[in-house]
Amino acid sequence: MLKTRARALNQIGKLYDHTGDYETALPYLEQSLAVYQKIGDKAGASGALNNISAIHHTRGIYDQALAYLEQELVISREIGDRSGMCATLFNMGHLSLQKENQP
């Protein structure tokens, strides 16, 4: 039941994200992350962290986005998700480059 709730919260957050309503999306994604963490679903938490990071990235809050990706990278390593590690490291590099190029 809780996993279904976490998934639903995540999907609602992603819907708001896709419409550009980041202020509404973020609390849903944060709630999703909290539920995934509560039930010990590391893969779900990793996805939620990625979605939260993406919102901060879109808003230009690069330090915050990187902080979430760092958490995601730890989880990806713990669960042996090489594909997730690769994507996260790529995103971290991309964010770092954007941060360096800020005026």
**Per-residue confidence band for 72, with pLDDT thresholds at 50, 70 and 90:** very high
Q: 47-58: per-residue pLDDT in tens? A: 999 999 999 999
Q: Cα–Cα distance between 56 and 60 in angstroms, integer?
A: 6
Domain boundaries, the chain: 2-100
Q: Which pLDDT score, from 0 to 100, does residue 100 have? A: 85
Q: Which pLDDT score, from 0 to 100, does residue 18 have? A: 96
Q: Cα–Cα distance between 60 and 50 in angstroms, integer?
A: 15
The pLDDT mean for the chain works out to: 95
What SS3 class is residue 39? helix
CATH for the 2-100 domain, from 3.40.50.300, 3.30.70.260, 3.50.50.60, 1.25.40.10: 1.25.40.10
1-36 burial, b at 16+ Cβ within 10 Å, e below that, comes to eeeeebbebbebbbebbeeeebeebbebbebbbebb
Contact 36, 5 (CB under 8 A): no
